[in-house]
Structure formats: C-alpha cells, structure tokens
Structure 1
C-alpha cells in the first residue's frame, strides 16, 4: 500500500515530535542540495550529524544501496538506510511503523524532492530490502 502526499501540505506532520533517534548523513562536502536536505531534516525536528566524504561509494556499499537505488547522499537512522532526498515525514513514518525493510530511497535526484525544491517533477519514495527488492512507500505529485 502507498500514500500520495503533497510536500507543501505536510506542515502538521513535520511539526510532530521526532522519535529519539539521531540521523547520520554521509555527503559530499561540495553538494549544496545535500546541505539543503540536511536543513530540511533539522527544520523537521531531527538531530542530524553530517559527515563529509569525497568518495561515497564505500558508504553506499556498506549500507547495501545498489547502484540503481543510489542518490547523492546516504543517511543512517535507527538501523535504517535513507538514500537521497526522502521527505522527513516518510522517515518519521518509517521509524514509527518499523517495517521489515532495509530503508527508503529516492533514486536519482528528482527536482521536486526536499533539498531540491523545484516544483513540477513527480517522484516516488521506495522502500527496499536487503536483496534490493523495492516497493512504493509514498508518491509525490511534484
């Protein structure tokens, strides 16, 4: 089952208290959209530790992110992997529901996702398991 959300209409969800988990983000030191996503997560109430890396490939491999699921940054929280510009509301839902998945991803870099913030591009947040099998977690109209 999936949900369809409008990113701008999530104010009440984003204002909800965050569970006691700290988010560690591995990102390029020169990527502005990664910095913007970190800000999105902080503004949504997450405690974020950002670690700059010039080579993200070893991080993605250790996290179990296959190339077709990859994006620009990789985050770890409470045993889950968050790959790319996943909205804070989806991360919160993941932590509350605790499904048996490896994590969430938005492959590539959709222009409408948090941290990119250029309206108009629909995208899906996918859950993925250890084998890389994916399912739609949520959809955004862009």
Structure 2
C-alpha cells in the first residue's frame, strides 16, 4: 500500500487505513465522511487530488467507540503536495 499511496500523491503525514479512488481519479484517504466526498465531487476544486482524514479520529465514520468523539479536520490535498482545511467536524452529528 505505501507504494500505491506514493503513486497517488498521498504523503505519509496524510495517510490512514483506507484509500479510495473515484472514477474521475480523485483520492479519498481515511475516514472521510460521505457528505464531504459528495460535496467535493460536485465542486471539483482546481488543483485538488482529493480529501484526507489523517489517522483514525474517534467517532469519525467507521470509528465509532460508544459516545467518544474527537473533533477532526478533513483536508484537501493539492497537486503540489500541500493541504488545506476543507472542513472541520466539531460534533458527531455534523459529519452526516
């Protein structure tokens, strides 16, 4: 997987346990909420390669642990290897 993630342009600091590639070639790494994937695919931000949620934040989709929740950021990755905050998820409910 590391070789594939390198090829896709996902630097090690942005990696998580899941990697998906859309039909258009956009990358989605980690526990990115579906609502942000849909939004991203509608917007198709210029110079973006995709969205990532580094690590495995408690309470993110697929990482539910009882009532535990840690706010986290969804990052937009750009072709030059940089990132910027695409969304900040403050509550469990807001990610749906």
Shorter-chain TM range is: 0.7 to 0.9
Q: Which of 71, 80, 85 is residue 131 of structure 1 equivalent to?
A: 80
Which residue of structure 2 lines up, in the alignment, with residue 76 of structure 1? 21
**How does the TM-score come out when normalised to structure 1?**
0.58
Check the 8 A contact 1:80/1:103 in 2, yes or no: yes
Separation of aligned partners in 2, 1:136 and 1:114? 18
Q: Which has the larger radius of gyration?
A: 1
Check the 8 A contact 1:59/1:74 in 2, yes or no: no
Check the 8 A contact 2:17/2:55 in 1, yes or no: yes
TM-superposed CA distance for 1:141, in Å, is: 1.4
**How does the TM-score come out when normalised to structure 2?**
0.85
Aligned residues: 87
Gaps of 5+ in 1: 1-55
**Structure 1 runs, 4 residues or longer, greater than 2 Å off:** none
Gaps of 5+ in 2: 92-96
